[in-house]
Structure 1
Amino acid sequence: MELMDYYNENGWIKFSFDPKLDHWLKSIAKPTFNAIHDKENQNEWLRCQGTWFAGVRALPNDIHGSVKGGVKLDFASSRWALNMLGVKQIVWDPAQISVCYPGYPKPEINESKSSFYYRLKKDAAHVDGLHPVGKNRIRMLREQHAFILGIPVTTFSRKASPLVVWEGSHKIMKYYFKKEFCKIDPQDWKDYDFTKVYHNARNEIFDTCKRVEIHATPGESYIVHRMALHGVAPWDGRARSSKEGRVIVYFRPDMDLEPSSWLTRP
Protein backbone atom coordinates (compact mmCIF):
# COMPACT_ATOMS: atom_id res chain seq x y z
CA MET A 1 0.00 0.00 0.00
CA GLU A 2 1.31 3.46 -0.93
CA LEU A 3 2.17 5.85 1.91
CA MET A 4 -0.64 8.25 1.07
CA ASP A 5 -3.17 5.44 0.75
CA TYR A 6 -2.14 4.07 4.15
CA TYR A 7 -2.37 7.51 5.72
CA ASN A 8 -5.78 8.21 4.20
CA GLU A 9 -7.10 4.86 5.39
CA ASN A 10 -5.62 4.73 8.90
CA GLY A 11 -4.92 8.33 9.87
CA TRP A 12 -1.26 7.85 10.72
CA ILE A 13 1.99 6.71 9.15
CA LYS A 14 5.42 5.79 10.51
CA PHE A 15 8.74 6.65 8.89
CA SER A 16 11.86 4.51 9.24
CA PHE A 17 15.24 5.69 10.50
CA ASP A 18 16.35 8.91 8.80
CA PRO A 19 19.98 10.12 9.20
CA LYS A 20 18.87 13.74 8.70
CA LEU A 21 16.32 13.43 11.48
CA ASP A 22 18.92 11.78 13.72
CA HIS A 23 21.27 14.70 13.06
CA TRP A 24 18.51 17.17 13.96
CA LEU A 25 17.70 15.16 17.08
CA LYS A 26 21.26 15.37 18.34
CA SER A 27 21.13 19.16 17.91
CA ILE A 28 18.04 19.56 20.10
CA ALA A 29 18.75 16.87 22.74
CA LYS A 30 20.44 19.13 25.31
CA PRO A 31 17.87 21.97 25.02
CA THR A 32 15.12 19.37 25.35
CA PHE A 33 16.46 17.96 28.61
CA ASN A 34 17.22 21.45 29.91
CA ALA A 35 13.60 22.41 29.28
CA ILE A 36 12.35 19.29 31.09
CA HIS A 37 14.42 20.05 34.19
CA ASP A 38 13.76 23.80 34.21
CA LYS A 39 12.07 24.67 37.52
CA GLU A 40 9.44 26.93 35.99
CA ASN A 41 8.54 24.28 33.44
CA GLN A 42 8.40 21.66 36.17
CA ASN A 43 6.00 23.81 38.18
CA GLU A 44 3.77 24.38 35.16
CA TRP A 45 3.86 21.05 33.37
CA LEU A 46 4.69 18.22 35.79
CA ARG A 47 1.38 16.48 36.43
CA CYS A 48 -0.25 13.23 37.52
CA GLN A 49 1.83 13.14 40.72
CA GLY A 50 5.10 13.43 38.85
CA THR A 51 4.40 10.75 36.24
CA TRP A 52 3.74 13.07 33.29
CA PHE A 53 5.50 16.19 32.04
CA ALA A 54 3.06 17.77 29.57
CA GLY A 55 5.59 20.30 28.26
CA VAL A 56 3.28 22.21 25.91
CA ARG A 57 5.36 24.47 23.63
CA ALA A 58 8.34 23.84 25.91
CA LEU A 59 11.00 23.33 23.23
CA PRO A 60 12.55 26.74 22.39
CA ASN A 61 12.75 26.14 18.64
CA ASP A 62 12.35 28.86 16.02
CA ILE A 63 10.01 28.90 13.00
CA HIS A 64 12.46 26.67 11.11
CA GLY A 65 12.39 24.01 13.82
CA SER A 66 15.96 24.72 14.92
CA VAL A 67 17.16 25.64 18.40
CA LYS A 68 19.67 28.47 18.88
CA GLY A 69 20.58 28.58 15.20
CA GLY A 70 21.14 24.84 15.00
CA VAL A 71 19.92 22.26 12.48
CA LYS A 72 16.69 23.07 10.65
CA LEU A 73 13.77 20.66 10.79
CA ASP A 74 13.90 19.20 7.28
CA PHE A 75 13.77 15.45 6.74
CA ALA A 76 11.69 12.75 5.05
CA SER A 77 8.60 12.82 7.27
CA SER A 78 8.36 16.61 7.47
CA ARG A 79 8.77 16.96 3.70
CA TRP A 80 6.16 14.26 3.11
CA ALA A 81 3.67 16.12 5.31
CA LEU A 82 4.24 19.41 3.49
CA ASN A 83 3.89 17.76 0.08
CA MET A 84 0.68 16.08 1.24
CA LEU A 85 -0.81 19.46 2.13
CA GLY A 86 0.47 21.09 -1.03
CA VAL A 87 2.53 23.73 0.75
CA LYS A 88 6.20 24.54 0.16
CA GLN A 89 7.05 25.61 3.69
CA ILE A 90 5.47 25.91 7.08
CA VAL A 91 6.05 27.86 10.27
CA TRP A 92 7.06 25.34 12.91
CA ASP A 93 5.44 25.90 16.28
CA PRO A 94 7.39 25.52 19.54
CA ALA A 95 7.22 21.77 20.07
CA GLN A 96 5.59 19.99 22.95
CA ILE A 97 7.97 17.89 25.03
CA SER A 98 5.88 14.98 26.28
CA VAL A 99 7.49 12.87 29.01
CA CYS A 100 5.99 9.88 30.79
CA TYR A 101 7.56 8.11 33.75
CA PRO A 102 6.94 4.71 35.40
CA GLY A 103 3.57 4.68 37.13
CA TYR A 104 1.74 6.95 34.65
CA PRO A 105 -1.03 7.85 35.17
CA LYS A 106 -1.62 8.72 38.79
CA PRO A 107 -4.64 10.88 39.70
CA GLU A 108 -4.25 14.63 39.45
CA ILE A 109 -5.02 16.68 42.55
CA ASN A 110 -8.77 17.39 42.50
CA GLU A 111 -9.22 15.20 39.39
CA SER A 112 -12.67 13.61 39.31
CA LYS A 113 -13.02 9.84 39.36
CA SER A 114 -14.62 9.88 35.92
CA SER A 115 -11.81 11.99 34.46
CA PHE A 116 -9.12 9.71 35.88
CA TYR A 117 -11.02 6.63 34.71
CA TYR A 118 -11.11 8.08 31.19
CA ARG A 119 -7.35 8.72 31.34
CA LEU A 120 -6.69 5.21 32.64
CA LYS A 121 -9.12 3.19 30.50
CA LYS A 122 -9.48 5.35 27.38
CA ASP A 123 -5.96 6.81 27.22
CA ALA A 124 -7.33 10.36 27.71
CA ALA A 125 -8.34 10.14 24.04
CA HIS A 126 -8.90 13.47 22.32
CA VAL A 127 -8.66 15.44 19.08
CA ASP A 128 -6.04 18.19 19.15
CA GLY A 129 -7.28 21.75 18.80
CA LEU A 130 -10.74 20.93 20.14
CA HIS A 131 -10.40 22.58 23.54
CA PRO A 132 -12.57 22.10 26.64
CA VAL A 133 -13.66 25.66 27.46
CA GLY A 134 -15.01 26.93 30.79
CA LYS A 135 -16.14 25.04 33.87
CA ASN A 136 -18.56 23.01 31.76
CA ARG A 137 -15.72 22.03 29.40
CA ILE A 138 -17.60 22.99 26.24
CA ARG A 139 -15.68 21.73 23.20
CA MET A 140 -14.61 24.47 20.80
CA LEU A 141 -12.20 24.42 17.87
CA ARG A 142 -9.62 26.89 19.14
CA GLU A 143 -6.65 25.64 17.07
CA GLN A 144 -6.49 24.38 13.50
CA HIS A 145 -3.43 22.18 13.18
CA ALA A 146 -2.11 20.86 9.88
CA PHE A 147 -0.93 17.52 11.30
CA ILE A 148 0.90 16.02 14.28
CA LEU A 149 4.57 15.10 13.87
CA GLY A 150 5.91 12.82 16.62
CA ILE A 151 9.66 12.36 17.16
CA PRO A 152 11.02 10.10 19.94
CA VAL A 153 14.00 11.55 21.79
CA THR A 154 14.85 8.66 24.13
CA THR A 155 14.84 4.87 23.81
CA PHE A 156 11.96 3.08 25.53
CA SER A 157 10.11 -0.22 25.30
CA ARG A 158 6.82 -0.69 23.48
CA LYS A 159 4.68 -0.52 26.60
CA ALA A 160 6.23 2.65 28.05
CA SER A 161 3.12 4.84 27.62
CA PRO A 162 3.04 4.76 23.82
CA LEU A 163 0.96 7.06 21.67
CA VAL A 164 -2.42 5.48 20.93
CA VAL A 165 -4.40 6.11 17.74
CA TRP A 166 -7.83 4.84 16.72
CA GLU A 167 -7.30 3.87 13.11
CA GLY A 168 -9.77 5.45 10.71
CA SER A 169 -11.08 7.79 13.41
CA HIS A 170 -10.10 10.83 11.32
CA LYS A 171 -12.67 9.84 8.70
CA ILE A 172 -15.47 9.66 11.26
CA MET A 173 -14.44 12.95 12.85
CA LYS A 174 -14.23 14.65 9.46
CA TYR A 175 -17.72 13.40 8.59
CA TYR A 176 -19.17 14.86 11.79
CA PHE A 177 -17.21 18.10 11.43
CA LYS A 178 -18.34 18.59 7.83
CA LYS A 179 -21.95 17.87 8.70
CA GLU A 180 -21.92 20.42 11.51
CA PHE A 181 -19.60 23.10 10.20
CA CYS A 182 -21.04 23.35 6.69
CA LYS A 183 -23.79 25.50 8.21
CA ILE A 184 -21.35 27.95 9.83
CA ASP A 185 -18.99 30.59 8.49
CA PRO A 186 -15.41 29.28 8.96
CA GLN A 187 -14.53 32.50 10.78
CA ASP A 188 -17.03 31.49 13.49
CA TRP A 189 -15.87 27.90 13.98
CA LYS A 190 -13.75 28.76 17.00
CA ASP A 191 -16.81 29.88 18.99
CA TYR A 192 -19.13 27.03 18.06
CA ASP A 193 -20.19 24.50 20.71
CA PHE A 194 -19.21 21.15 19.26
CA THR A 195 -19.56 19.15 22.51
CA LYS A 196 -22.51 16.90 21.71
CA VAL A 197 -21.42 16.09 18.17
CA TYR A 198 -17.84 15.45 19.34
CA HIS A 199 -19.02 13.02 22.01
CA ASN A 200 -21.23 11.21 19.51
CA ALA A 201 -18.34 10.90 17.08
CA ARG A 202 -15.99 9.74 19.83
CA ASN A 203 -18.41 7.04 20.99
CA GLU A 204 -18.78 5.77 17.43
CA ILE A 205 -15.00 5.63 17.13
CA PHE A 206 -14.63 3.64 20.34
CA ASP A 207 -17.23 1.19 19.04
CA THR A 208 -15.94 0.77 15.49
CA CYS A 209 -12.25 1.71 15.17
CA LYS A 210 -9.18 -0.34 16.02
CA ARG A 211 -7.00 0.99 18.83
CA VAL A 212 -3.30 0.77 17.97
CA GLU A 213 -0.20 1.63 19.97
CA ILE A 214 2.56 3.38 18.02
CA HIS A 215 6.16 2.73 19.00
CA ALA A 216 9.21 4.33 17.43
CA THR A 217 12.87 4.80 18.29
CA PRO A 218 15.18 7.83 17.95
CA GLY A 219 15.73 8.57 14.27
CA GLU A 220 12.23 7.36 13.40
CA SER A 221 9.08 9.50 13.34
CA TYR A 222 5.38 9.41 12.61
CA ILE A 223 2.66 11.67 11.24
CA VAL A 224 -0.85 11.59 12.74
CA HIS A 225 -3.87 13.13 11.03
CA ARG A 226 -5.08 16.33 12.72
CA MET A 227 -8.59 14.87 13.21
CA ALA A 228 -7.49 11.46 14.49
CA LEU A 229 -8.64 10.47 17.97
CA HIS A 230 -5.49 9.71 19.94
CA GLY A 231 -4.13 9.52 23.47
CA VAL A 232 -1.43 8.08 25.73
CA ALA A 233 -1.52 4.55 27.13
CA PRO A 234 -0.78 3.81 30.79
CA TRP A 235 2.78 2.76 31.62
CA ASP A 236 2.95 -1.03 31.78
CA GLY A 237 4.70 -2.32 34.89
CA ARG A 238 7.15 -4.30 32.75
CA ALA A 239 8.07 -1.34 30.53
CA ARG A 240 11.55 0.14 30.50
CA SER A 241 13.10 3.40 29.34
CA SER A 242 16.23 5.48 29.68
CA LYS A 243 16.68 7.38 32.95
CA GLU A 244 15.01 10.42 31.36
CA GLY A 245 11.77 8.51 30.81
CA ARG A 246 9.69 8.20 27.65
CA VAL A 247 10.45 11.47 25.86
CA ILE A 248 8.72 12.44 22.59
CA VAL A 249 8.58 15.86 20.96
CA TYR A 250 5.43 16.76 19.05
CA PHE A 251 5.04 19.47 16.44
CA ARG A 252 1.52 20.69 15.62
CA PRO A 253 1.96 23.46 13.04
CA ASP A 254 -1.12 25.53 12.32
CA MET A 255 -2.86 25.61 8.96
CA ASP A 256 -1.49 28.84 7.52
CA LEU A 257 -4.25 28.88 4.91
CA GLU A 258 -7.89 29.91 4.74
CA PRO A 259 -9.82 28.43 7.73
CA SER A 260 -11.85 26.05 5.57
CA SER A 261 -8.63 24.28 4.49
CA TRP A 262 -8.57 22.58 7.87
CA LEU A 263 -11.70 20.72 6.81
CA THR A 264 -10.92 20.13 3.14
CA ARG A 265 -7.19 19.34 2.97
CA PRO A 266 -5.92 15.72 3.29
Structure 2
Amino acid sequence: MVTDWPDAGYIVFPWDAQTYAWSQAAAPIGRQVTQQPDMRALWLQCDGTWFVGVDALPSAPDGAMGGVPLAGPAADRIGPREDLHPAQLSVMYPGYPRPRAGDSDAAFRFRRDRDAAHMDGLWAEGTPKRRFLRERHDWILGLPLTDASPGASPLVVWAGSHHILQQALIDALGNRPETDWPQIDLTDTYVAARRQVFEHCPRSEVFTRPGEAVLLNPFLLHGVAPWQDGATAPKDGRMIAYLRPETMESGQVWLRQK
Protein backbone atom coordinates (compact mmCIF):
# COMPACT_ATOMS: atom_id res chain seq x y z
CA MET A 1 0.00 0.00 0.00
CA VAL A 2 1.44 3.36 -1.05
CA THR A 3 1.62 6.00 1.69
CA ASP A 4 2.50 9.69 1.89
CA TRP A 5 0.42 10.74 -1.10
CA PRO A 6 0.75 14.30 -2.42
CA ASP A 7 -2.20 16.52 -1.60
CA ALA A 8 -3.52 16.22 -5.16
CA GLY A 9 -3.87 12.45 -4.73
CA TYR A 10 -2.05 11.47 -7.91
CA ILE A 11 1.50 11.37 -9.29
CA VAL A 12 2.57 11.73 -12.93
CA PHE A 13 5.93 10.08 -13.58
CA PRO A 14 8.12 11.45 -16.41
CA TRP A 15 9.36 9.42 -19.34
CA ASP A 16 11.59 6.53 -18.39
CA ALA A 17 13.32 4.02 -20.66
CA GLN A 18 12.25 1.00 -18.58
CA THR A 19 8.62 2.11 -18.49
CA TYR A 20 8.79 2.72 -22.24
CA ALA A 21 10.14 -0.80 -22.82
CA TRP A 22 7.15 -2.19 -20.90
CA SER A 23 4.71 -0.17 -23.01
CA GLN A 24 6.37 -1.33 -26.22
CA ALA A 25 6.04 -4.95 -25.14
CA ALA A 26 2.40 -4.47 -24.10
CA ALA A 27 1.13 -2.50 -27.11
CA PRO A 28 1.19 -5.27 -29.76
CA ILE A 29 -0.32 -7.74 -27.29
CA GLY A 30 -3.04 -5.20 -26.50
CA ARG A 31 -3.66 -4.71 -30.22
CA GLN A 32 -4.18 -8.46 -30.63
CA VAL A 33 -6.55 -8.57 -27.67
CA THR A 34 -8.79 -5.83 -29.09
CA GLN A 35 -9.11 -7.75 -32.36
CA GLN A 36 -10.24 -11.04 -30.82
CA PRO A 37 -13.95 -11.59 -31.60
CA ASP A 38 -14.78 -12.88 -28.11
CA MET A 39 -13.04 -9.91 -26.48
CA ARG A 40 -14.78 -7.45 -28.80
CA ALA A 41 -18.16 -9.01 -28.05
CA LEU A 42 -17.51 -8.74 -24.32
CA TRP A 43 -15.74 -5.41 -23.99
CA LEU A 44 -16.45 -3.12 -26.98
CA GLN A 45 -19.03 -0.67 -25.60
CA CYS A 46 -20.54 2.76 -26.27
CA ASP A 47 -21.27 2.03 -29.94
CA GLY A 48 -17.71 0.92 -30.56
CA THR A 49 -16.01 3.93 -28.97
CA TRP A 50 -14.70 2.24 -25.78
CA PHE A 51 -13.01 -1.11 -25.26
CA VAL A 52 -13.42 -1.60 -21.51
CA GLY A 53 -11.01 -4.54 -21.26
CA VAL A 54 -11.14 -5.45 -17.56
CA ASP A 55 -8.32 -7.96 -16.86
CA ALA A 56 -7.91 -8.34 -20.64
CA LEU A 57 -4.17 -7.72 -20.92
CA PRO A 58 -2.22 -10.85 -19.87
CA SER A 59 0.37 -9.26 -17.59
CA ALA A 60 2.13 -11.46 -15.04
CA PRO A 61 1.53 -11.42 -11.27
CA ASP A 62 4.69 -9.33 -10.85
CA GLY A 63 3.50 -6.92 -13.56
CA ALA A 64 5.84 -8.17 -16.30
CA MET A 65 4.54 -7.99 -19.85
CA GLY A 66 5.82 -10.28 -22.57
CA GLY A 67 8.87 -11.02 -20.44
CA VAL A 68 9.63 -7.33 -19.91
CA PRO A 69 9.60 -6.41 -16.20
CA LEU A 70 7.48 -3.62 -14.79
CA ALA A 71 10.27 -1.22 -13.86
CA GLY A 72 11.07 2.47 -13.59
CA PRO A 73 10.08 5.23 -11.13
CA ALA A 74 6.41 4.24 -10.92
CA ALA A 75 7.34 0.62 -10.18
CA ASP A 76 9.83 1.83 -7.56
CA ARG A 77 7.06 3.87 -5.89
CA ILE A 78 4.61 0.97 -5.59
CA GLY A 79 7.27 -1.58 -4.66
CA PRO A 80 7.51 -5.22 -5.76
CA ARG A 81 4.30 -7.23 -5.99
CA GLU A 82 3.59 -10.86 -6.80
CA ASP A 83 -0.21 -10.67 -6.63
CA LEU A 84 -1.15 -8.37 -9.50
CA HIS A 85 -4.19 -9.20 -11.60
CA PRO A 86 -4.01 -9.06 -15.41
CA ALA A 87 -4.09 -5.40 -16.43
CA GLN A 88 -7.19 -3.65 -17.66
CA LEU A 89 -6.84 -2.65 -21.31
CA SER A 90 -8.82 0.58 -21.72
CA VAL A 91 -9.03 1.82 -25.31
CA MET A 92 -10.86 4.95 -26.45
CA TYR A 93 -11.80 5.65 -30.07
CA PRO A 94 -13.01 8.74 -31.97
CA GLY A 95 -16.58 9.65 -31.12
CA TYR A 96 -16.48 8.67 -27.44
CA PRO A 97 -18.80 8.89 -25.58
CA ARG A 98 -21.84 7.35 -27.13
CA PRO A 99 -24.50 5.69 -24.97
CA ARG A 100 -23.49 2.41 -23.37
CA ALA A 101 -25.96 -0.46 -23.39
CA GLY A 102 -28.24 0.04 -20.40
CA ASP A 103 -27.41 3.74 -19.96
CA SER A 104 -30.36 5.90 -19.02
CA ASP A 105 -30.51 9.40 -20.46
CA ALA A 106 -29.18 10.71 -17.15
CA ALA A 107 -26.35 8.16 -17.12
CA PHE A 108 -25.29 9.13 -20.62
CA ARG A 109 -25.37 12.84 -19.76
CA PHE A 110 -23.17 12.10 -16.74
CA ARG A 111 -20.75 10.17 -18.97
CA ARG A 112 -20.63 13.04 -21.46
CA ASP A 113 -20.75 16.06 -19.14
CA ARG A 114 -19.01 14.72 -16.02
CA ASP A 115 -16.48 12.36 -17.62
CA ALA A 116 -18.22 9.33 -16.05
CA ALA A 117 -16.52 10.37 -12.79
CA HIS A 118 -16.18 7.51 -10.33
CA MET A 119 -14.20 5.93 -7.52
CA ASP A 120 -13.08 2.40 -8.34
CA GLY A 121 -14.54 -0.38 -6.22
CA LEU A 122 -17.96 1.18 -5.60
CA TRP A 123 -20.20 -0.96 -7.78
CA ALA A 124 -23.65 0.03 -9.00
CA GLU A 125 -26.03 -2.88 -8.56
CA GLY A 126 -29.73 -3.65 -8.88
CA THR A 127 -32.69 -1.68 -10.22
CA PRO A 128 -32.64 1.15 -9.41
CA LYS A 129 -28.83 1.20 -9.18
CA ARG A 130 -27.39 1.32 -5.67
CA ARG A 131 -23.70 1.57 -4.70
CA PHE A 132 -21.81 -0.95 -2.57
CA LEU A 133 -18.12 -1.31 -1.73
CA ARG A 134 -17.06 -4.45 -3.59
CA GLU A 135 -13.31 -3.91 -4.08
CA ARG A 136 -10.63 -2.18 -2.03
CA HIS A 137 -7.61 -1.21 -4.11
CA ASP A 138 -4.13 -0.27 -2.96
CA TRP A 139 -3.64 2.11 -5.89
CA ILE A 140 -4.36 2.53 -9.60
CA LEU A 141 -1.43 2.66 -12.02
CA GLY A 142 -1.99 3.87 -15.58
CA LEU A 143 0.55 3.03 -18.29
CA PRO A 144 -0.16 4.50 -21.76
CA LEU A 145 0.54 2.19 -24.69
CA THR A 146 -0.14 4.37 -27.74
CA ASP A 147 0.91 7.91 -28.60
CA ALA A 148 -2.26 10.01 -28.99
CA SER A 149 -2.91 13.74 -28.92
CA PRO A 150 -4.05 15.48 -25.70
CA GLY A 151 -7.71 15.63 -26.80
CA ALA A 152 -8.01 11.89 -27.41
CA SER A 153 -10.18 11.12 -24.36
CA PRO A 154 -7.54 11.60 -21.67
CA LEU A 155 -7.80 10.52 -18.07
CA VAL A 156 -9.55 13.12 -15.88
CA VAL A 157 -8.89 13.59 -12.15
CA TRP A 158 -10.29 15.86 -9.45
CA ALA A 159 -7.29 16.95 -7.41
CA GLY A 160 -7.75 16.42 -3.68
CA SER A 161 -10.99 14.48 -4.12
CA HIS A 162 -9.51 11.50 -2.28
CA HIS A 163 -9.70 13.45 0.99
CA ILE A 164 -13.46 13.98 0.57
CA LEU A 165 -14.32 10.47 -0.57
CA GLN A 166 -12.14 8.79 2.04
CA GLN A 167 -13.69 10.81 4.86
CA ALA A 168 -17.18 10.06 3.56
CA LEU A 169 -16.44 6.33 3.67
CA ILE A 170 -14.87 6.60 7.12
CA ASP A 171 -18.05 8.29 8.34
CA ALA A 172 -20.24 5.60 6.75
CA LEU A 173 -18.17 2.49 7.52
CA GLY A 174 -15.61 3.36 10.18
CA ASN A 175 -17.73 2.40 13.19
CA ARG A 176 -19.31 -0.66 11.59
CA PRO A 177 -17.87 -4.19 11.64
CA GLU A 178 -16.06 -5.00 8.43
CA THR A 179 -18.32 -8.01 7.97
CA ASP A 180 -21.25 -5.58 7.56
CA TRP A 181 -19.62 -3.49 4.85
CA PRO A 182 -20.83 -5.49 1.81
CA GLN A 183 -24.46 -4.92 2.85
CA ILE A 184 -24.17 -1.17 3.50
CA ASP A 185 -25.80 0.95 0.81
CA LEU A 186 -23.36 3.79 0.11
CA THR A 187 -25.35 5.47 -2.67
CA ASP A 188 -26.40 8.61 -0.82
CA THR A 189 -23.01 8.96 0.87
CA TYR A 190 -21.23 8.63 -2.46
CA VAL A 191 -23.49 11.00 -4.38
CA ALA A 192 -23.19 13.69 -1.69
CA ALA A 193 -19.39 13.33 -1.56
CA ARG A 194 -19.12 13.42 -5.34
CA ARG A 195 -21.21 16.60 -5.43
CA GLN A 196 -18.85 18.15 -2.89
CA VAL A 197 -15.89 17.16 -5.08
CA PHE A 198 -17.40 18.85 -8.12
CA GLU A 199 -17.92 22.03 -6.10
CA HIS A 200 -14.51 22.23 -4.46
CA CYS A 201 -11.89 20.18 -6.36
CA PRO A 202 -10.31 21.31 -9.62
CA ARG A 203 -10.82 19.08 -12.64
CA SER A 204 -7.64 18.26 -14.57
CA GLU A 205 -7.03 16.30 -17.75
CA VAL A 206 -3.95 14.09 -17.38
CA PHE A 207 -2.23 13.58 -20.71
CA THR A 208 0.47 10.91 -20.81
CA ARG A 209 2.50 9.17 -23.49
CA PRO A 210 4.21 5.76 -23.63
CA GLY A 211 7.13 5.75 -21.22
CA GLU A 212 5.27 7.93 -18.72
CA ALA A 213 2.91 6.69 -15.99
CA VAL A 214 0.28 8.00 -13.60
CA LEU A 215 -0.44 6.66 -10.11
CA LEU A 216 -3.81 7.37 -8.47
CA ASN A 217 -4.83 7.19 -4.82
CA PRO A 218 -7.55 4.50 -4.52
CA PHE A 219 -10.08 7.05 -3.21
CA LEU A 220 -9.48 9.58 -6.01
CA LEU A 221 -12.44 10.54 -8.20
CA HIS A 222 -11.46 10.09 -11.83
CA GLY A 223 -12.95 9.53 -15.27
CA VAL A 224 -12.44 9.90 -19.01
CA ALA A 225 -12.97 13.05 -21.07
CA PRO A 226 -14.93 13.06 -24.35
CA TRP A 227 -12.94 12.72 -27.56
CA GLN A 228 -12.33 16.25 -28.83
CA ASP A 229 -12.73 17.41 -32.42
CA GLY A 230 -9.36 17.24 -34.15
CA ALA A 231 -7.86 14.79 -31.67
CA THR A 232 -5.65 12.11 -33.19
CA ALA A 233 -4.53 8.61 -32.28
CA PRO A 234 -3.28 5.59 -34.20
CA LYS A 235 -5.86 3.20 -35.61
CA ASP A 236 -5.46 1.21 -32.39
CA GLY A 237 -7.01 4.12 -30.46
CA ARG A 238 -5.86 5.77 -27.24
CA MET A 239 -4.77 2.68 -25.33
CA ILE A 240 -3.87 2.61 -21.61
CA ALA A 241 -3.14 -0.34 -19.33
CA TYR A 242 -4.33 -0.07 -15.72
CA LEU A 243 -3.17 -2.10 -12.75
CA ARG A 244 -5.28 -1.81 -9.59
CA PRO A 245 -4.57 -4.59 -7.09
CA GLU A 246 -6.90 -5.34 -4.24
CA THR A 247 -5.35 -4.56 -0.89
CA MET A 248 -3.92 -7.18 1.43
CA GLU A 249 -4.57 -4.90 4.42
CA SER A 250 -7.53 -5.13 6.76
CA GLY A 251 -10.53 -3.00 5.91
CA GLN A 252 -9.91 -0.55 8.74
CA VAL A 253 -6.23 -0.12 7.81
CA TRP A 254 -7.19 0.45 4.17
CA LEU A 255 -10.00 2.83 5.08
CA ARG A 256 -7.81 5.08 7.26
CA GLN A 257 -4.61 5.02 5.22
CA LYS A 258 -2.57 8.21 4.83
Q: TM-score range by the shorter chain?
A: over 0.9
Kept in 2: contact 1:172–1:201 (CA 8 A): yes
Secondary structure of the corresponding residue to residue 25 of structure 1: helix
Counterpart amino acid of residue 77 in structure 1: A
| Structure 2 spans left out of the alignment, 5+ residues | none
- Kindly indicate whether the alpha-carbon contact (under 8 Å) linking 1:90 and 1:253 is maintained by their aligned counterparts in 2: no
Give the structure 2 partner of residue 75 of structure 1: 72
CA distance in 2, matches of 1:101, 1:21: 24
Counterpart of 1:193 in structure 2 is: 185
Tell me, yes or no, if the aligned pair for 1:125 and 1:229 is still in contact at 8 Å. yes
Query: Unaligned 5+ residue runs, structure 1?
Result: 83-87
Looking at structure 1, the residues matched to 152 and 53 of structure 2 have their Cα atoms a distance apart, in angstroms, of 18
Deviation at 1:206, TM superposition (A): 0.6
Cα distance in 1 between the residues matched to 2:25 and 2:147: 17
The structure-2 alpha-carbon separation of the partners of 1:263 and 1:101, relative to structure 1 and needing over 3 Å to count, comes to same
Q: Which residue of 1 aligns with 2:173?
A: 181
Instruction: Specify the code of the residue in structure 2 equivalent to 1:251.
Output: L
Contact 2:18–2:71 (CA under 8 A) maintained in structure 1: yes
Q: Does 1:235 align with 2:227?
A: yes
Match of 1:217?
209
2:232 alignment partner AA: R
Which of 53, 60, 63 pairs up with 1:62? Answer: 60
Q: How does 1:1-266 map to 2 (within 5 A)?
A: 7-67=5-65, 70-82=67-79, 89-266=81-258
Kept in 1, the 8 Å contact 2:165–2:193? The answer is yes
SS in structure 2 of the partner of residue 161 of structure 1: coil
SS at structure 2 position matched to 1:159: coil
Distance of aligned partners of 1:55 and 1:89 in 2 relative to their CA distance in 1, 3 Å threshold: closer
Larger CA deviation: 193-202 vs 58-67: 58-67
Using the size of structure 1 for normalisation, the TM-score is 0.92
The residue identity in structure 1 corresponding to 2:123 is H
| In 1: Cα distance, 2:82 partner to 2:247 partner | 9
- TM-score scaled by length of structure 2: 0.95
Size of the alignment, in residue pairs?
257
C-alpha distance in structure 2 between counterparts of 1:154 and 1:125, whole Å: 23
- Following superposition, which runs of at least 4 residues in structure 1 exceed 3 angstroms of deviation? 4-7
Aligned with 1:217: secondary structure? coil
Q: CA–CA distance in 2 between the matches of 1:230 and 1:183?
A: 27
How far has the Cα of 1:16 moved from its partner?
Answer: 0.4
Q: Deviations over 1:162-215 (max 9, x none)?
A: 000011100001111111111211233222111111111000011111000000
1:209-257 deviation digits (Å, cap 9, x = unpaired): 1000000110000101100111000000111111211000111011112
Q: Partners of 1:56 and 1:184 in 2: how far apart?
A: 31
Instruction: Give aligned-pair identity as a percent.
Output: 38
1:96-126 C-alpha deviation (Å, 9 max, x unpaired):
1011111101122442111110000000100
Q: CA RMSD in A?
A: 1.7
Instruction: State the AA in 2 paired with 1:71.
Output: V
Q: Secondary structure at the match of 2:6?
A: helix
Q: Which residue of 2 aligns with 1:85?
A: none
